[in-house]
Amino acid sequence: MSRRPQGLTAGMLIGPATFLVLGALVAPLALLARYSLNRYDRANFMVEALTPENYLRFLDDPFYTGVLWTTLSIALVTTTLCLLLGFPIAYRLARSQSRWKSVGVLLVILPLFIGSTVRALGWMGVLGRGGLVDSVVGAVSPGSSFPLLYTSFAVVVGILSINLPYMVLTLQSVIEGIDSRIEEAADSLGADPSRRFWHVVLPLALPGLATGGVLVFILAMNAYATPLLLGGARFQMMAPMLFREYAVNNNWPFAAAIAFILMITTLTLTAVSSAFVQRRYKAA
C-alpha cells in the first residue's frame, strides 16, 4: 500500500473545483467589476476609465431606481407567496406515509423539466387576449374581456410557478428532519393543531423557511424570461433591462454597473434576513 500525504490527496480532490470556481466565477466577476468603472462613449462604446458615473447615473435616475423597486417588490411578493403556498404542500408530502408520496414529489418536480421560456409561453396562452381566462370570461358575460397578460399579476404568477417547486423541495427535506414524535408530544400535552404549528412546527422549520426563502428570492430577483414575456414592453425588471443595456444599447459599463447593483442588493437582503432568522432561532 502506497502512502501519500493526506494534504496532497485532499488538495488534488478539491483542486479541480477550486480551479473551476476561480476560472468561471471569480474571473468574470472581476472583469465585470472593472467594466462597471469604465466610461461609455457612443463612438467607441467602452473607454478605459475609473469612474463611479455608471453607478451614480443609476441611483440618480428615478426610472432605474423604479425598476429596482419593481424587481424587489415582485421578488418579495413571490417569495412570500411561495412560503405560504409551499409550506402546506411540503408538510403534507413530508409527513405522507402513502405509496403515492413519490408520485406527489414527482408532480412537484415535473414543472422543472420545462424551461422557464416555454412555461412563460404557456402562461401567455392562458392569460393573454383570446387566451383561456379571457375566453371563459367572454363566454360567461359576452362583450367583456379580461386580459391578464402584461400585468404584474402575470409576472408574479409566472415566477411563482417556476419557484414553487424549489421551495417545496427545500421545505420538505427540512420538515422530514423534524421528528414526528415531537409533534405528537405537543399533541399529547394539549396543543391543538394551530398551536402545535405556531409553537413547535414553525420554530423548528424556520431555518428551512429561511433557506427556501433565500433561494426563491434570488431566483425571482434574477428572473429574465418570465418578466420579459409576461410583463410586456412597459414592465421593467432588472435582468431584462440589464440585457437591453448590454445587447441593444451596447453600453457595457452601465450594464456591468446594473449587474453589480442587482447582485449587491440581493446579497445584502439575503444576509440581513439570514442574520435575523438566526437570531430569532437562537432566542426562540
Partner 1 sequence: MTDTYLRIQGLTKRFGASVAVRDVDLDVRQGELVVLLGPSGCGKTTTLRMIAGFVEASEGRILLEGQDYAGLPPYRREMGMVFQSYALFPHMTVAQNVTFGLRMRKLPRPEIEARLAETLDMVKLSTMAERYPRQLSGGQQQRVALARALAIRPKVLLLDEPLSNLDANLRQQVAREIRALQRAAGLTALMVTHDQDEAMMMADRLVVMSDGLVQQVGTQEELYERPANTFVARFIGHSNLIRGMLEGGERLVIPGATIGLAGHYDSSGDCTLAIRPERARICAPDDPAARITAKVEDATYVGAHVEVLLVLPDSTRVILHDPTDGGAARRFAPGDLAGIAWDLASERLFDDAGAPLAARSPVHA
Query: What count of other Cβ atoms lies within 10 Å of the Cβ of residue 274?
Result: 15
61 binds partner 1 (CB under 8 A): no
Packing angle, helices 62-95 and 252-283, rounded to 10: 40
184, 247, 267, 268: residue in contact with partner 1 (rule CB under 8 A): 184
Rama region for 40: left / alpha / beta (φ>0; ψ in -120 to 50; rest): beta
34 binds partner 1 (CB under 8 A): no
284 binds partner 1 (CB under 8 A): yes
Smallest distance from partner 1 to CB 210, Å: 14
The pattern of x and - marking residues 123 through 162 that bind partner 1 according to CB under 8 A reads ----------------------------------------
17, 43, 139, 189: residue in contact with partner 1 (rule CB under 8 A): 189
Smallest distance from partner 1 to CB 190, Å: 4
182 binds partner 1 (CB under 8 A): yes
Residue 94 buriedness (CB in 10 A; 0-12 / 13-18 / 19+): buried
d(CA 33, CA 251): 14
Closer to partner 1 at the Cβ: 186 or 255? Answer: 186
Smallest distance from partner 1 to CB 281, Å: 7
Smallest distance from partner 1 to CB 176, Å: 15
Distances (CA, A) of 238 to 65, 107, 262: 10, 31, 7
32 binds partner 1 (CB under 8 A): no
Query: Do 49 and 39 touch, CB atoms closer than 8 A?
Result: yes
Closer to partner 1 at the Cβ: 125 or 193? Answer: 193
177 binds partner 1 (CB under 8 A): no
Which of these ranges, 15-23, 35-43, 190-198, 261-269, lies near partner 1 under the rule CB under 8 A? Answer: 190-198
DSSP β-ladder status, 39-41 and 45-47: antiparallel
Nearest by Cα to 265 from 63, 78, 72 = 72
187 binds partner 1 (CB under 8 A): yes
Question: Cα dihedral angle (32, 35, 40, 45), rounded to 10 degrees?
Answer: -80
Contacting positions for partner 1 (CB under 8 A):
179, 181-182, 184-192, 195-196, 199-200, 203-204, 281, 284
